[in-house]
Structure 1
Amino acid sequence: MCLTGSHAAECPLQLNPQRVVVRYGGSVSVTCNTSVPHDGMGWEASEGAMPMSKDNLITWRVSELTEWDIKPFCYLNPKNGDQCLSYLPVTVYNIRVCKSSSTETPDSVSISTVNPIGPMMEGNQYELQCDVLNVAPVQSLTVKWYKGQTLVNQTIFTDTIKTPVNETVTLMIRPDRSDDGVQYRCEAELELGEEGPRPPPKVTSKPLSVEVHYKPKHSNSTETINTSDEVTLNCTVKANPSPTYTWDSKLLKEKITSPVLPYSTLSPGNYTCIATNSQGGDSKVFIVKSTVSGDSCSLEISPSRVVVKFGDPVSVSCVASRPVRVLGWESVIAASHTQRDLSVQWQVDSLTDWIEEPICYGVFFTAPRQCEEKLNLVLYKKPDSVSISLVNHSSPVVVGREYQLQCEVHNVAPVQYLVLRWYRGQTEVYNHSFSELSPATPVQVSSILLIVPNRADDGAQYRCEAELKLGAEGPQPPPTVQSEVLSLAVQYPPDFRSPEEEIVEIREDSEMVLDCTAEGNPPPVYIWTSSNLQEKADQPVLTAASLGPGVYTCTASNILGKKSKQFVIKHKSKGESNKDAMEMLKFFPSNAEATVYTTHSVSVTV
């Protein structure tokens, strides 16, 4: 017997076209011709079979193809030589659509929320779920996740099953305030090769709009306003739910709940606005200074912002731009003053005071008699260590279950400048900032990453990295400390590389290998059962040289499950019928098999 593909030169048959892609229920027509003398040729197929003919060209034709797993072949009985076959790869596809105006949209595509819990909270982790129903062939499927118009993730499948299946794909997100109102959607696409339809068939879920609740957060904590007459203080800040406002100042004589102070004239001094909602609060200080001609505070600090490592020296100057009675620094340590110079230094050999807030003051001969400027000082300390671990669990983990990874940062300051980054391999998968915290002294903080491992995560390496982003005045690159690497071992049940039943036909005295190797973790154990076996077989591979015809069942199992596969051994002699050749299609190479696909619906849930 000779075959197409690697043996095509031995079989003088030509198919036109050599591969077809046809819509389910559509028509198909393929010719088979030869130029050699023969005793007959024909088409064998579950639909549209053509009886043997003496012609040199015959056509396989089906007006309405409804067989998913069809495997047609043309056969030839040459006058010289054995019968040979030429197999036609067929892709039958189907995707139902309904039309609205001129736009095609997939039928039965829905989006819903699982276990509704209301709006998402900023900084919490959530799982979006995309369900793809009745899709085939799944090995041609790609599921893509979009955030707005941006592709954020995609999943491909390698299963070789031919019949329609349901697939579920998840996406982990940790929304922030910029995600409020953003729309997620998932898209299922079947890439069926050059002969497939263009563009590739796809269905898209309806968008899932995300509502995020987040606390008020001002762009800066202080604002200085110089005024000579009228001024308005506007404390409006974006938050969800909308915040309420309160004002605090010894200069105010009544309670104010508006984001804007309704005063046309404000006295010089400090006014603190506090914005609050169910997620938290944030405050902002407005410093109102008089700018009456000749009354400005003529002090300048250089540099105006200083970033110092804990224990390092620091030196800052304060300069007066006009004659001064006294110029000095008010400070817990290294306080100083002068009565003669227009410049005074604040200098410390080793800064170790976390609450230090140096203030330069000047007493002038003319009004204003005294004024002061506060130094913007940041004292920082790198973390002592950064650690990563599984929460209430140890490796290995089980595929499909939910786990928490925890990263702990020990003894870091100031925490509001800290960014903690999560990595899977070399890819950053999430980052967590702590800008809502305000302690100046060293603290310990942690971050949680939620994962649902799959088979591809076996051996994946996770780590986290703590980075202090201290601004342009801080060290460059920013100080960082990394955790050790956490290698994830994932356990999963056995699965065969080729799960379908295999029919093995061999000639007498030939040898065939039955390979039952399965992938699983822990590695599976094997057991073979058959009425033909005289002794126990517990290896994944059997040699069929001494095995008689019959059914051989292999079962692979581990602690998570088991799976079985059947091998049917048949002895074949020269001259068997074309009916037997039809049976042989069940174990021919994949490029001789039909590929069927369909996608009925896609949905996204959270």
Structure 2
Amino acid sequence: MRTGNVDCTKDLEITVYKNPDGVDMFPIKHVEATVEGMQYQLQCDISEVAPVQNLTVRWYKDNEIIMIDSFTNTNKLPVSESSILTVNISRKDNGAQFRCEAQLDFEPFGPKLPAFVATHNVSVRYAPVFTNDIPEVHIVEEDNNVTLDCEAEGHPPPHFQWTRDGVNMMEYTDKLIITQVNTNTIYTCIAANDLGRITKTIHVNAMRYPPTTPAAARNMPEASPLEDCPLTLTPAELVVRFGDPASANCTTSVTDAAGMGWEAAYGGTGFEKPPTVTWAVKKLTYWHIQPNCYITRIKQCKVSLAVTLYKTPNTVSVSEFHPGPMEEGKEHQLKCDIISVAPVQNLTVKWYRGNESVMTETFNDTTATPVNVSSTLRVTPKRDYNRIHFSCSAELHLGPNGPEPVPTVISEPYTADVRYKPLIHDCPTQYTGVEHNFSLNMLPCKVDGNPPPVVNWTSEGKHINASQSLTRGQSGVYIVEAVNELGESSTSVTITIEYKPSFACEDSYEVKENDDSFAGCEPEGKPLPTVTWYKDGVMVSKPPWTKRDSGKYVLLAKNKHGTANHTLSLNVQFAPEFKEANESKEVTLGQNVTVDCSAEGNPGPVIQWNYTHAVNVRETTWGRQATINITGATSTNAGVYICVATNEVGSVSRYVTLAMKGKTAGFPWTVILGVCLFLILTISVIILYLRWKKHGQYSFVPDKARDGSEIPMTTKSDGVKA
């Protein structure tokens, strides 16, 4: 494809797949004898499938999924793979069907392909266990018959044996029929196979009526439930832990009773004399026991003792319905298994996230014997749940007569592994660091994600080593990006790198007097340093400069990160200045006259006299001084003599006027001629000076000579005194 003037291409991704040639499953551990409690392993072989990274193997027990397996092999050619399932086998798994399904998954865009299935049925061997609640005590009216039931199951099926008072009987079935019971006898049932044996002892007690009781009393009608039965039970209700002793008293206040007693499958009494009779057992293990206290008067009546036999769970545990980590925002189910608890209708299951209660569940099952129950917690995980402990507790609330505190069993904590995309937080939008003492790792940015994300820093599209110290030239915008398989997150930070002051200046500078724009020695630093000038150890102000400010200076620069100093020499240049002022002299004809002119300046000025030359006039110069010597002054020597001092800064002029004594007022022609010559010379000097200076400003200030005539104009530069 061509876009504008640029060619671009994109590769077409093609995936070639191949369904498995076949799927086979077989046991690889405890193949010959699968015994309850052993670890059982099944292997599912998938042959010649591609691409294997798109293969999913699902394991089922009956129709419940128990494991999902995937593969990381990136080979695109057909390969053979195996998936292994390890389970702890119990008797409830006997006859269960295990199934593995292998399927290539290209959703959501690819085709939906069929699953290839293999199955295996498990036969589990286990020791015998009784399948019904066998009363430990049978109370039988004398001369009546009774059947003792000793049902048990096992794999292989158990065989049975009965004993009577410790003596073997020739009985080999699970049921024993005893006729015409007339003595108290102990029977023992034995159920055994090659994996173990169990026994159950049953007391058969014959009930005899006292000789004083008429035979008709045996068939005496019971009192109507609506009639009052004068019996009091203490306590009226009994809550007993399985295997603990139990007892209750039955008392009556009447005096005409023939007798009273307790009827119970275990712990019953004979026909005893009023007013009190006690029911007691040393170890209560019969789940359906209901002791009745009866009293015989004209009629017989009875009162039942409410007995709640409870058992705390063997174990309470938390597990996952579907193994694997939680993912933020997707529902996940946890299961709380409570093993062997009774009575379940008194059970309350509480779920906790950390220390916070999040769900409570109760049960309506009225089964009195121990059962296994489960509670399900549906969780929509948040990232805050990662590493949080989930737990459940099983509490038996047995009413006001129950034990205190409430019997409770708590599971081991389940630690949540929540996967979530990266999040960058606590990152400032702007940050200031110090050169050579700051790296990106020192930013307070925190990166969170599960799996732990990969963190990258870039600036202007270039990767930056986050542990490397930054320099002053690396101020700018930095972008941090965190990526894991669930997503990505990024943010930017504008970083300013500050640094202590430093100088990169010359050792000497030249400035002009009164110049306030000197910036020849400014320090670097961020924040901008403050600069203090010192001369001879004394702090001085900065420009404008004066001619007295030449000399050696120490500059001290300071900001919050440090200080720096620099020593420099300053040469202040100034325009020339005359030592003498303008003056006028009266000269007598024939007199010798000397006129001096000297000036100071930096750089040293050039001094030049402008006047009307004559044969008797001689000019000499030495140093910064120029002298005019007139020998035998004549009228032609009268006039104005101009001394001009010039340097790079400016130019100044000084005027000396010579006048002849004895002359009348007004200007004679010789004077006028001299003045004209003076003006011509002055203009010539100005033109020459302008050509040399190439710039300047002119100020014309007229002055009066002693005789009243105007003195010629002079040149004045900025900052130069005339």
Q: Which has the higher contact order (CA 8 A, sep 6+)?
A: 1
- Max Rg structure: 2
Under TM normalisation by the shorter chain, which class is it?
A: 0.3 to 0.5
TM-score, structure 1 normalization: 0.41
